[in-house]
A = this chain, B = another copy of it.
Amino acid sequence: MAKTQPSESVVKAWARLTRAQQLALAAIEAALKKADLPALSWYDALLELERAGERGLRPFELEHEMLLAQYNLSRLIERLSRARYVSRQVCKDDGRGQVLVITPAGKAMRRRMWSVYGPAIQAAIGTRLSEAEIERLTALLGTFLERAKADEARSGVAGRRDYSIHHRNEAT
């Protein structure tokens, strides 16, 4: 481990990355709340489950997609299940686990959330950068994420677990 201090420019990049994300997130969460809708973590879980279709997902798969700690996810699932947006089914292949499947009500809620979430993304990001700027930002962040993924693979999945904070998503 190197313990090297970062250059000024790296610190500035980190500060801005965080502030930009924070600003956009706050506006988006506020829009959802104003519309009396659940928070983003519900959206992300519902989206993944909808993509998975009838086969559903195991909690640990969802955990990986969402970068959520296991105990955290366990409680999120409990809430989604109580709200009847997700049904928990027994897993035939593995007695330890369960399979999560989105319900019709869950799909409907995801769509309702998108009708607020989408425009909020547009207002927070889309109106503040040109198409060209968006493309450049996306490309840079893509490079960053790819290298991070490569590092993760290199370190043999060690250092996983223990994330937190909602969110992720790549479309609709």
Chain A contact residues, CB within 8 Å of chain B: 2-26, 29-30, 67, 118-119, 121-126, 128-129, 131, 133-138, 140-145, 147-148, 151, 159, 162-165, 167-172
Q: Which of B2, B23, B144 contacts A145 (CB 8 A)?
A: B23
- Oligomeric state, in number of copies? 2
Chain A contact residues, majority secondary structure: helix
- Is A15 a contact partner of B170 (Cβ separation < 8 A)? yes
Q: Which of B20, B23, B67 contacts A22 (CB 8 A)?
A: B67
Shortest A43–chain B CB gap in Å is 12
Question: A169 CA to B6 CA in the complex, in Å?
Answer: 14
- Is A26 a contact partner of B137 (Cβ separation < 8 A)? no
Question: A154 CA to B141 CA in the complex, in Å?
Answer: 29
Q: Which of B13, B124, B167 contacts A141 (CB 8 A)?
A: B13
Question: A79 CA to B15 CA in the complex, in Å?
Answer: 24
Shortest A110–chain B CB gap in Å is 15
Q: Which of B5, B9, B14, B134 contacts A9 (CB 8 A)?
A: B134
By a CB distance below 8 angstroms, the chain B residues around A169 are 11, 14-15, 18
By a CB distance below 8 angstroms, the chain B residues around A159 are 30
Shortest A15–chain B CB gap in Å is 5
By a CB distance below 8 angstroms, the chain B residues around A29 are 164
- Is A133 a contact partner of B143 (Cβ separation < 8 A)? yes
A5-B119, A128-B151, A133-B140 given; 10 more Cβ-contact pairs under 8 Å: A10-B126, A11-B171, A16-B141, A16-B145, A17-B17, A17-B137, A20-B144, A23-B145, A26-B165, A125-B144
